[in-house]
Amino acid sequence: MSDVEATEQIEEALAGAAAVEQPATGDPNLLVDVDGFEGPLDVLLTLARSQKVDITKISILALTEQYLEFVKEARRLRLELAADYLVMAAWLAYLKSRLLIPQQKDSDEPTGEELAAALAFRLQRLEAMRDASAKLMNRSRLGRDLFARGAPETVSVERRSVWTATLYDLLMAYASQRQRHSVTSVHVKRRQVWSLQDARDILTRLVGQVAVWTPIERFLTAYLEDPQERATAMASAFSASLELVREGVIDIQQSGPFETIYVRASQRTPEEIGAGEPTEELQEKEVELS
């Protein structure tokens, strides 16, 4: 692109900008779009595209010269619009000097080629954003290009189970289910057991001063109704009666093995109790049993 053509393009762009009058309010936040240019990078991108070459292969030096010419013309027409562009123009002038002047070896500053590559990357990124924005705006819009149905059909979901298990898997599942239900917690209910002391207290209280022979079950009637308590009541009462006989509290007798046990209040004297001698009646019973 020649300098004459670039100048003509810039004059056409700025001619449209000159026709735009700024409002009387003088709002500093007003964004003036100079024939579609929204900033220095936008101008650079337009100038780069006007070269009809790939943006990755543009001549940064030629692009810089075109931009400086653009800013020069912009300052002549609209000085208030050229403030942002002057910053870019100063940086491009610095870039042009770095490209033309050889780089010193001991300098830590980036080279002109590195600065040019950074500028090219920014232009490529701006071009990609512009292309993406254009693609989004060109897509069909709901309510303008596309219209949804007023009463959309309902979607029914049909589920079908596909079984891939074998007979072995079926047996394993059945066994696991049965085993899960067969394992239960076992709680053993505590049995009601008479202690020897309980039996002693009951016999001592109930026999009292009963002087006649009475079956031992008569004193335990209230405790023999429960089948679970009958065995422990009889066993503890028999053991307690032997202890009470030895202590001289009661007397017992039994006519034969597995026969009824009779008890009564002790009729023995303290001497007989201390000597451990049975009473005459007990001796007669022993003779009969022998």
The CATH number given to whatever domain includes residue 229 is: 1.10.10.580
65, part of any domain: yes
Share of the chain above pLDDT 70, in %: 62
pLDDT of residue 22: 39
State the Cα torsion 23-24-26-27 to the nearest 10°: -60
Distances (CA, A) of 143 to 133, 140, 147, 268: 20, 9, 5, 120
pLDDT of residue 272: 64
265, 213 contact by CB (below 8 A): no
Does 105 share its domain with 9?
yes
pLDDT of residue 37: 56
d(CA 92, CA 287): 144
For the chain, how big is the Rg over CA atoms in Å?
60
Asked whether the predicted pLDDT for residue 45 surpasses 60, the reply is: yes
Q: pLDDT per residue over 227-285, tens digit each?
A: 777 888 888 888 888 888 888 888 888 888 888 888 888 877 676 666 555 555 544 54
Does 7 share its domain with 129?
yes
The band of 171, judged by pLDDT with boundaries at 50, 70 and 90, is very high
Ranges of beta strands (E only) in the chain are 214-215, 250-254, 261-265
Asked whether the predicted pLDDT for residue 24 surpasses 70, the reply is: no
Sequence-ordered list of residues with C-beta below 8 angstroms from that of 193, at least 6 positions apart, any chain: 232
The mean pLDDT of 156-163, rounded to a whole number, is 86
Where a domain ends, among 101, 120, 138? 138
How are the residues of the chain apportioned to helix, strand and coil, as percentages rounded to the nearest 5?
60, 5, 35
Does 33 share its domain with 133?
yes
| Closest to 57 (Cα-Cα) out of 100, 8, 15, 117 | 117
158, part of any domain: no
- Mean confidence (pLDDT) of the chain: 71
User: If DSSP codes are grouped into helix, strand and coil, which group holds residue 37?
Assistant: strand
Q: How many domains does the chain have?
A: 2
The pTM is what?
0.32
Where a domain ends, among 112, 138, 164? 138
Highest mean pLDDT out of 55-69, 84-98, 102-116, 204-218: 204-218
For helices 40-50 and 112-138, give the axis angle rounded to 10 degrees.
90
Q: pLDDT per residue over 109-154, tens digit each?
A: 777 777 778 877 887 887 888 889 889 989 888 888 888 777 777 7
Where a domain ends, among 98, 117, 138? 138
Quick one: 213 exposed, middle or buried, by C-beta within 10 A (0-12, 13-18, 19+)? middle
Q: pLDDT per residue over 186-223, tens digit each?
A: 777 777 777 888 888 888 887 777 778 888 888 777 77
Q: Which of 37-51, 54-68, 238-252 has the lowest mean pLDDT?
A: 37-51
165, part of any domain: no
116, part of any domain: yes
pLDDT of residue 50: 62
144, part of any domain: no
pLDDT of residue 2: 44
Q: Tell me the HSE value of 256 on the side-chain side, using a 13 A CA sphere.
A: 1
Does 208 share its domain with 108?
no
The mean pLDDT of 33-56, rounded to a whole number, is 57
Asked whether the predicted pLDDT for residue 5 surpasses 80, the reply is: no
254, part of any domain: yes
pLDDT of residue 25: 37
120, 62 contact by CB (below 8 A): no
Does 202 share its domain with 98?
no
Which DSSP category does 276 fall into?
T
Does 103 share its domain with 213?
no
Give the range of the structural domain holding residue 62, as residue numbers without chain letter: 3-21+29-138
Does 123 share its domain with 37?
yes
Sequence-ordered list of residues with C-beta below 8 angstroms from that of 161, at least 6 positions apart, any chain: none
Share of the chain above pLDDT 90, in %: 1
145, part of any domain: no
pLDDT of residue 239: 86
